[in-house]
Amino acid sequence: MSTGISLAVLARNEENWLANCIKSALPVVDEVVVLDTGSEDRTIEIAKENGARVFEHPWKDDFAEARNELISHCSGRWIFMLDADEELINPEIPWWKHEANLEKADAWWCIIENDQSTDKNSKSYRHRLPRLFRNRDDIRFKFPVHENLTLDDLHTDNAPCRIKHHGYNADQFDQQEKRERNLKLLSKRHDSYPQDPFTHYYFAQHYVKSGEADQAFESAVKALDLGVDGSAKLMCLRICWRYIIRCKRPDKLDVVLALTPSYEYFPEQWVFEAQILRFTEPQQSREYLGLFFKVVEQLRSKDVLYRTDTILPETHCEALQLHLLLEIETIAQPETDHILETIKKLGGLDASFLLSLMKAAIGANNQPVVSVILTYLSHSGQVDPAEVNALLQRLQNYRTPSTKSN
């Protein structure tokens, strides 16, 4: 039975991604509609080759306007909205095949898996967005950038469908071009909605990606003051805490503490406070990490770990790294096997962090630990043996001076 779903794709110069996007959703949709906003490559041809009805529309610096125009060309009872650099990765699940499932809500929140993997590291995070919704006049997008659906007073639910987003793996030129475009549109959004908390959240995200830490912090604080909620609130809190730690701004701690809710709501606070207390109160630091790891296991058992509304993998990795540093610094005769095992679990460690581990080990005169890390480096394929030897030579400068006899 047809479920009456229209796949809707907004595209411009997406020849590298579009075919994969369309093909991924073909098993669950009844038509494909692509709105092109001025491509200069083969986007339109590729869309037609894959069975799409293609419409052209001038770009007006407004994503909501473009998406609403796209919806107007869809004939299905339901709209399934994908970006050209996304793909549906589980079309085979039975949920899609029964119209009765769709009818239980007006809009469905789908899992977005953002792939940020590199040649050296596999990294992703998950969040939810309403990508499947009824084709009705009262369900439309607003805001020129980071556009949202108008879902007020409508019944929504979580769908089991999973979407992979590849856009974060685009080349640096493309990323920079998108950041510049988004900043322009964010300014336009701010002019119309200066008190919208999510506008300031998106400013904070932009400044983080641009490396402008002070502006990111101020925008995150503004978003929290205005009452940003959901996973965006947690992201703002992460920006604020990392600013205090990485930029060494303890003077901002009271401001952030006043905006931070309970540990149960934001368990990553235990990691950030543990980082602050590492040198002054190492025992308290370890206790905070212990509380954090308990929450990690609870979330892991519920299969919700590493979502933007729970705990990010970056914070979990920071906690494991801090735990390892504390072990090396405080245990006189560490068990090298469990240290090696912890290092292996972390995976993908860069040379700078391993350097800090070895500095701590040499400072504590823990030669077995130094040996373990060198062995790990030598067999991990991260660096060649010559680089490992060079690293060891650099570390000699950090060795604790021996006490001379009088």
pLDDT in tens, the chain (406 residues): 356 999 999 999 999 999 999 999 999 999 999 999 999 999 999 999 999 999 999 999 999 999 999 999 999 999 999 999 999 999 999 999 888 899 999 999 999 998 765 554 555 678 889 999 999 999 999 999 989 899 988 999 999 999 999 876 555 446 677 778 888 999 999 998 899 999 999 999 999 988 999 999 999 999 999 999 988 999 999 999 999 999 999 999 999 999 999 999 999 999 999 999 998 999 999 999 999 999 999 998 888 888 888 998 889 989 988 887 787 665 544 455 566 666 666 666 666 677 677 677 766 666 666 766 766 666 665 555 565 565 555 544 444 344 333 3
How does pLDDT run across 330-375, given as a tens digit for each residue? 554 445 556 666 666 666 666 667 767 767 776 666 666 676 676 6
Pair type for strands 148-149 and 141-142: antiparallel
Question: Residue 334: what pLDDT?
Answer: 45
Question: Residue 236: what pLDDT?
Answer: 97
Question: Residue 76: what pLDDT?
Answer: 95
Closest to 83 in 3D by CA, of 199, 191, 156, 178 = 178
Residue 30: CB atoms within 10 Å: 15
CA distance 57 to 67: 11
Pair type for strands 107-115 and 124-134: antiparallel
Q: How far is CA 383 from the centre of its chain?
A: 27
DSSP string for 186-254: HHHHHHH-TT-HHHHHHHHHHHHHHT-HHHHHHHHHHHHHTT--HHHHHHHHHHHHHHHHHTT-GGGHH
The terminus-to-terminus CA distance of the chain in angstroms comes to 92
Amino acid at 160: P
Question: Residue 274: what pLDDT?
Answer: 97
Q: What burial class does residue 289 get, using C-beta atoms within 10 Å of its C-beta: 0-12 exposed, 13-18 middle, 19+ buried?
A: buried
Question: Residue 99: what pLDDT?
Answer: 84
Question: Residue 213: what pLDDT?
Answer: 96
Question: Residue 5: what pLDDT?
Answer: 96
2's CB contacts (< 8 A; 6+ apart) are 30
How many CA atoms, within 13 angstroms, populate the side-chain half-sphere of residue 219? 24
How does pLDDT run across 15-52, given as a tens digit for each residue? 999 999 999 999 999 999 999 999 999 999 999 999 99
pTM given for the model: 0.70
Q: How far is CA 88 from the centre of its chain?
A: 18
The CATH code of the domain at 5-169 is: 3.90.550.10
